[in-house]
């Protein structure tokens, strides 16, 4: 059995404001810390055993004198606070300039070509909650056939359509068209297809979401592994975030399916990298300010962790981290500029404090060294700290 590395990204699960959080309007954000207080404490014994409570004070999650893993946190060094820049940074690539955002909606030079190319008009064109704008404009969309177009504080061009009004393939083609049209200075991070079903007053988004991201502008860990002939697999939206470059992914409907897909890879894969994203923390709970739901999702992941650890081979490293914060207690529906947790476990891991890393890319550099690839990207490997003497 060849060496393996599994990276699990708990989407949106930050551990406190980054040093430059105020510049992003995120002073005071602390997804896990504030969540733990608001929930009256978190019961996460398996994450605590790896050292989660040693990273930052968390109500209900004690620190431990003898963690079973290595622990620390990582600061974002790349510009932005979205999933694309966060995952790129984990893979060794930094973004020098944030992706453009449109808090007042998109200008005519963006909207008009989209309308012309797709043959449908648009409704909305505002920054809004996805569920709210579907409730507000769903009936008009059903009557007119126009796209519901909206954005958020993040760099996203989101297109919603009822599955009984616009066939999914037409929605996907329209989003692919938008992706081709959105070039600098309007090079948004992602175009997102947001299909929904139901009737007025009872609309709900379906699991048929699809993301269309910009291609990474430079070499990533995934490219380096591909060049070395090392297998790569994804779970969740990870391949979308890299525009399919050097990675294919098993798309999953929710965290439960994602965890099962991770377990399947651990049980069956013969080597290489697994890059997994569990998105429910962010999509279902962080963006909606749902403290109880967020806490429940963390407990469900914690409950599954012993099975994942039991499936590790002798030459495996398992990393648990995040891509940004999404504090459900602040009243904001947007991502937060936060540090992210860093937990590492495996038979070869010596329990050790990894400190505060200056970039997410240190994780990617460590994976590269573990898998015997020369690539380090923007990061510095901490493998020597992990390995048992």
Question: According to CATH, where is 3.40.720.10 located in the chain?
Answer: 4-97+214-386
Question: According to CATH, where is 3.30.70.1250 located in the chain?
Answer: 108-206
pTM tops 0.85: yes
DSSP letter (8 states) at residue 243: T
Extract the tokens encoding 64: 């431990």
- Which residues in the chain land under pLDDT 50? none
C-alpha dihedral sign at 291, 294, 298, 300:
positive
Q: What is the pLDDT of residue 332?
A: 87
Q: Is 65 helix (H, G, I), strand (E, B) or coil?
A: coil
Q: What is the pLDDT of residue 387?
A: 87
Burial zone of 188 (CB within 10 Å; 0-12 exposed, 13-18 middle, 19+ buried): buried
Q: What is the pLDDT of residue 388?
A: 67
CATH number belonging to the domain at 4-97+214-386, selected among 3.90.550.10, 3.30.70.260, 1.20.120.1200, 3.40.720.10: 3.40.720.10
**Architecture, CATH, for domain 108-206:** 2-Layer Sandwich (3.30)
Do β-strands 232-235 and 4-10 pair in parallel, antiparallel, or remain unpaired? unpaired
Q: What is the pLDDT of residue 333?
A: 84
Q: What is the pLDDT of residue 389?
A: 52
Q: Where are the alpha helices (DSSP H) in the chain?
A: 31-38, 45-50, 52-55, 83-90, 108-118, 130-144, 168-181, 221-227, 238-241, 255-268, 280, 291-310, 361-370, 383-386
């Amino acid at each position: 059995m060849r060496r393996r590395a599994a990276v699990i990204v708990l989407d949106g699960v930050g551990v406190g404001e980054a040093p430059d959080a105020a510049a992003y309007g995120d002073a005071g954000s602390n997804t896990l810390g504030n969540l733990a207080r608001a929930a009256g404490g978190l019961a996460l014994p398996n994450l605590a055993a790896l050292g989660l409570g040693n990273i930052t004070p968390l109500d209900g999650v004690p620190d431990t004198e003898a963690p079973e893993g290595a622990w620390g946190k990582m600061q974002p060094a790349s510009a932005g606070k979205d999933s694309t820049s966060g995952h790129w940074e984990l893979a060794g690539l930094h973004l020098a300039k944030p992706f453009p955002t449109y808090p007042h909606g998109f200008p005519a030079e963006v909207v008009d070509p989209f309308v012309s190319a797709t043959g449908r008009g648009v409704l909305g064109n505002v920054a809004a909650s996805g569920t709210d704008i579907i409730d507000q404009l769903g009936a008009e969309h059903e009557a007119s056939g126009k796209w519901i177009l909206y954005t958020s504080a993040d760099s996203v061009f989101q297109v919603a359509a009822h599955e009984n009004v616009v066939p999914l393939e037409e929605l996907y083609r329209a989003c692919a068209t938008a992706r081709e049209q959105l070039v600098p200075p309007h090079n948004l991070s992602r175009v997102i297809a947001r299909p929904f079903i139901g009737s007025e007053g009872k609309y709900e988004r379906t699991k048929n979401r699809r993301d269309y991201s910009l291609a990474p502008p430079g070499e990533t860990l995934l490219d380096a592994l591909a060049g070395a002939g090392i297998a790569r697999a994804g779970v969740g939206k990870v391949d979308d975030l890299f525009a399919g470059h050097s990675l294919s992914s098993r798309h999953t409907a929710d965290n439960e399916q994602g965890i099962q897909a991770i377990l399947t890879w651990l049980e069956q894969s013969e080597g290489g990298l697994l890059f997994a994203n569990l998105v429910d923390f962010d999509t279902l709970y962080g963006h909606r300010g749902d403290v109880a739901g967020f806490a429940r999702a963390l407990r469900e992941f914690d409950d599954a962790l012993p099975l994942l650890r039991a499936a590790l081979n002798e030459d495996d490293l398992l990393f648990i981290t995040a891509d940004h914060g999404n504090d459900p207690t602040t009243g904001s529906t947007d991502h937060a500029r936060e540090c992210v947790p860093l937990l590492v476990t495996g038979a070869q891991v010596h329990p050790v404090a990894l400190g505060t890393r200056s970039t997410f890319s240190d994780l990617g550099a460590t994976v590269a060294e573990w898998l015997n690839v020369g690539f380090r990207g923007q990061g510095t490997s901490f493998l020597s700290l992990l390995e048992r003497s």
